[in-house]
Amino acid sequence: MAKYIKNIEKPVQKYRFVFQSVFALLCIYIGIEFYLFTTYLESGGTTEFYNRPAGVEGFLPISALMSIYYFFLTGEIHDAHPAGFFILLAIISISLVFGKSFCSWLCPVGFISELVGDFGEKIQKKLFKRKLKLPRFLDIPLRSLKYLLLAFFVYAIFFSMTALSLKYFLDSPYNIVADVKMYHFFANITQFSLIVIGVLFLLSIIIRNFWCRYLCPYGALLGITSLISPNKIKRDPISCIDCGLCAKACPSNIKVNKIINVISDECSTCLSCVDACPVADTLDVKSLITKKKISKPKIAIGIAIIYLIVISIGMFTGNWESKATKEDYLLYYQNLDRIGHPTSVQDIETLNKVSEKEKADGRKQNK
């Protein structure tokens, strides 16, 4: 093997782990706060009031996608779940600059999936002396599943809804209490849902990132936006010694050693391949515009800065807390089982009228 200049750049994986852990802890904190808020709702407003954490709206991506489209059509930020709007905007902005990096740097599901995948790979190496992966004839059609799910949501929102129907939906009690309904789904999880989660967990041990690779519509959306990101992993074929370590390290099974630019919807900018490359200045993230290398610490800091800037814009422009009051939540909570998914504009109108009437009745009683 020809002599080469050793890559002495520090790996970035432990910093990525710190990012993932901090974000996961933030999600747990939000979960605890939201749990306390629901105890207040359950008591009918008789116990101590706990603030509803706006960050919970990060778990309502469909509502956020509707808000983004509503903003696109009207120029208004809808006030039901404004934090969700900014969180999704921050995540899309990151992927436009640094590819699908949200999945491998911040997403708590991606984090769990990675930990489970690492565990699975250890077992596989012991049992089979290699990592398991699906053959191409299964892998490719399965990867399209997440795009089919995304296409369904895109069609239902961008091709079927007008500004008016979006407003009706976003104003509806169903949308406002979507966070409480989601909480109830997990707090009172059915046996069937538990089995589905258990099966996904097992599949993630056998096939790395099963959920992310095949089913997550969020990842599909970011995969598409990441394709237009100007910053890509680039291999220098002249200094490359074709050791294959980059491809071996890639959790997305991308054959990094066979291509020049990694332009793939499956690349999550985890930088495992860059860390694994033993040759200096051979595998780096480079700007396709300036042709310059972007160092690993700059990517980490860039991801954090973009996220914080977009979130701060939401917070400091007064578009963070939902305009739904605790009285609205108390009222809707009492009628939670009656609040179903509206399927037509008429449904949404009826739901909104009923809720307006109930609010007015409530105000009369309070007088």
Interacting residue ranges for ligand SF4, rule: CB under 6 A: 233, 235, 240-246, 249-252, 254, 256-257, 262, 267-273, 276-277, 279, 282-283
Q: How far is the CB of 301 from ligand SF4 (least distance, A)?
A: 17
The closest of 318, 70, 61, 59 to 180, measured between CA atoms, is 59
CB of residue 183 vs ligand SF4: minimum separation in angstroms? 33
In angstroms, the first-to-last Cα distance of the chain is 87
Q: Which residues contact 133 (CB under 8 A, 6 or more apart)?
A: 139, 207, 208, 253
Nearer to ligand SF4, 97 or 271 (CB): 271
In this structure, are strands 283-287 and 231-235 parallel, antiparallel, or unpaired? antiparallel
CB of 15 to ligand SF4, least distance (A): 14
What 3-state class would DSSP assign to 86? Answer: helix
Other Cβ atoms less than 10 A from the Cβ of 352: the count is: 18
16/81 with CB nearer ligand SF4: 16
Asked whether the beta carbons of 34 and 53 are under 8 A apart, the reply is yes
Least separation, in Å, of the C-beta of 210 and ligand SF4?
Answer: 16
Closest CB to ligand SF4 among residues 37, 214? 214
DSSP three-state, residue 172: coil
CB of 248 to ligand SF4, least distance (A): 8
Helix (H) / strand (E) element for 232: namely: strand 231-235
Three-class secondary structure of residue 285 per DSSP: strand
Closer CB to ligand SF4, 20 or 268, in the complex:
268
Angle between helices 82-98 and 296-316 (to 10 degrees): 160
Distance (Å, whole) CA 74 – CA 126: 57
CB of 135 vs ligand SF4, minimal distance in Å: 19
Phi, psi at residue 320, to the nearest 5°?
A: -125, -55
Tell me whether residue 293 or residue 357 sits nearer to ligand SF4 (CB atom). 293
C-beta of 108 vs 251, nearer to ligand SF4 = 251
Least distance to ligand SF4 from the beta carbon of 276, Å?
6
Cα of 276 vs its chain's centroid, Å = 26
64 or 207, CB closer to ligand SF4? 207
